Amino acid sequence: MGVTLDLSRAPTVPAAPSKPNLIGLTRAELAQALIDAGVVRPEKARMRATQLWRWIHHYGVTDFSAMSDVAKEMRATLAETFTLARPEIVERQVSRDGTRKWLIRTAPGIEVECVYIPDVGRAGALCVSSQVGCTLNCTFCHTGTQALVRNLTAAEIVAQVQVARDDLEEWPSPKEDRKLTNIVFMGMGEPLYNLDNVAAAIDIIADNEGIAISRRRITVSTSGVVPELTALGERTQAMLAISLHATNDPLRETLVPLNRKYPIAELMAAIRAYPGLSNAKRVTFEYVMLKGVNDSPADARALVQLLKGIPSKINLIPFNPWPGSIHECSDWGTIEAFAAILNRAGFASPIRTPRGRDILAACGQLKSESEKLRASVRRKATASESAS
C-alpha cells in the first residue's frame, strides 16, 4: 500500500541546532541566559538584561547591531551566541473588513495562525494561538479537527505579537494611539493545557518596559479546564473567558466533550472562585449560536439562571462555518431574540460581528496544515527516501 507524504513538512534530517532565541525569555531568564553564556558577569546581568529588554520588546529590533548603546564587541558576541529572528511568515491575508491573518512557521512542521481584528477592544485585538491543533474536539470548531501537534513555547506565543506589530508598523511600542491594544487567547488550542508557556508569554507581553499591553487587556479563553482556573488567575491576572455554549450537561457534553470530565456545576463553582472577579473585572461567557441546537428562548432563560450573581458579559458568537462543518448558524432574528432576553435580565450581551470570514479568520475557523506524523510513518518515509 502506498503512503503519500508531503515531505516538505516533515524534514528527514534533524535541523542544525539553532541559537537560542531571546524573545521568549522572561526578564529573569534573560539575565540568567547572559550569565550562562558567559556574556556578562553576574553582577552586571540585571542591568544588561534591562538594556536588552528595551531593545527587544520596546523597539522590536531583530538585529543586535541596532543596539546602539551596547558596545560593539558585546553586540558581536551576542550575535554569535543568540538570535532575535522572527519566525517565517508563510502566508499573509487581509480581509475585506481589514482583518489580517498570518500563517507563521516557527519550526519545521510547526505552523500556527494568528489574527488581527481592527476596531475591537480599545482599538484592535490580536487573537493568538497557544497550541498547534487541539486535543479537544468541540463539534463546531475547525481547530478541533486537527490533532494536537504540540504546545507552543513562550517564544512562539510572543512571536505572534511581534509579527503583528511588525506588520502594523508599531515599533517602538507606543504608549498612546495604538492599533494593537488587546490580546485574546482565542486562536488555535486550549491555553490552559499550556499554562506555563501562556503565563510566561503574558509576563513578557504585559511588561511595562516592553510591549506593555496591560493584563486587563489580555483575555484567556478556555473550554473549561476546571483544575487550572485558579492558577490562571493567580499567575496571570488575565481576564477570563469561558466557552460555555450550553446550559445543561447532556447538551454541553455533545458540543464540548470536555464537559464529561468537568461538568457545568464544577465549572461554575470554579468561575465564582476566579481570583479578582468583580463588576470591573467580569467574566466573558462565549456562546456560539447553533441553529436548532442551543438557540431557543428557553435556552436563553436557562442561561440567565445559570449566570445569576456572576459579574459577567455574554458574547453571542454567530457560528462560523468551515469546510465539512455539521452545524448551521442561527437565523439573525433568533440571535436578536436570544440577546433581548439576556439584555432584559441585565446582562451585557453583544452579538459578535463575524470578522474576516472571507479569509477563514473568524472564531473557530483557524487550522494549519501541520499534522502530527506518526513516528512509524515518518520512519518508513525516511527509510524509503534514503533507499531511493
195 scored as a contact of ligand SF4 (CB under 6 A): no
243 scored as a contact of ligand SAH (CB under 6 A): yes
- Beta-bridge partners for 104: 89, 112
99 scored as a contact of ligand SAH (CB under 6 A): no
x/- string (CB under 6 A) for ligand SAH, residues 16-45?
Answer: ------------------------------
286 scored as a contact of ligand SAH (CB under 6 A): yes
> Catalytic: which of 111, 336, 363, 385?
363
How far is the first Cα of the chain from the last one, in angstroms, to the nearest whole number? Answer: 17
Active site annotation includes 363:
yes
228 scored as a contact of ligand SAH (CB under 6 A): no
Residue 298 grid cell: 428557553
288 scored as a contact of ligand SF4 (CB under 6 A): no
Longest CA span, the chain: 70
> Catalytic: which of 113, 156, 228, 286?
113
244 scored as a contact of ligand SF4 (CB under 6 A): no
Q: Residue 142 or residue 165: which is nearer to ligand SF4 going by CB?
A: 142
Q: How many residues does the chain have?
A: 388
Q: Residue 52 or residue 195: which is nearer to ligand SF4 going by CB?
A: 195
Residue 318 grid cell: 454567530
C-alpha to C-alpha distance for 214 and 286, rounded to whole angstroms? 22
Please choose which of ligand SF4, ligand SAH, none residue 363 contacts, taking the beta carbon within 5 to 8 angstroms, the exact cut-off set by kind. ligand SAH
Q: Residue 22 or residue 360: which is nearer to ligand SF4 going by CB?
A: 360
Q: Is 387 exposed, middle or buried (0-12, 13-18, 19+ CB in 10 A)?
A: exposed
C-alpha to C-alpha distance for 366 and 143, rounded to whole angstroms? 6
Active site annotation includes 328:
no
The string of DSSP codes covering 128-196 is --SEES-S---TT-SGGGS---EEPPHHHHHHHHHHHHHHTT--S--SSS-S--EEEE-SSS-GGGSHH
Query: Which 136-155 positions form the footprint of ligand SF4 (CB under 6 A)?
Result: 136-138, 141, 143-144
The angle that helices 195-206 and 229-236 make with each other, rounded to 10 degrees, is 20
Residue 343 grid cell: 439584555
Query: Which 320-339 positions form the footprint of ligand SAH (CB under 6 A)?
Result: 320
Residue 116 phi, psi dihedral angles, 5° rounding: -105, 130
The number of residues that bind ligand SAH (CB under 6 A) is 15
Region of 69-77, 105-113, 269-277, 316-324 interacting with ligand SAH (CB under 6 A): 316-324
Per CB under 6 A, residues contacting ligand SF4 are: 134, 136-138, 141, 143-144, 189-190, 223, 243
Per CB under 6 A, residues contacting ligand SAH are: 140-141, 186, 190, 221-223, 243, 286, 288, 317, 319-320, 363-364
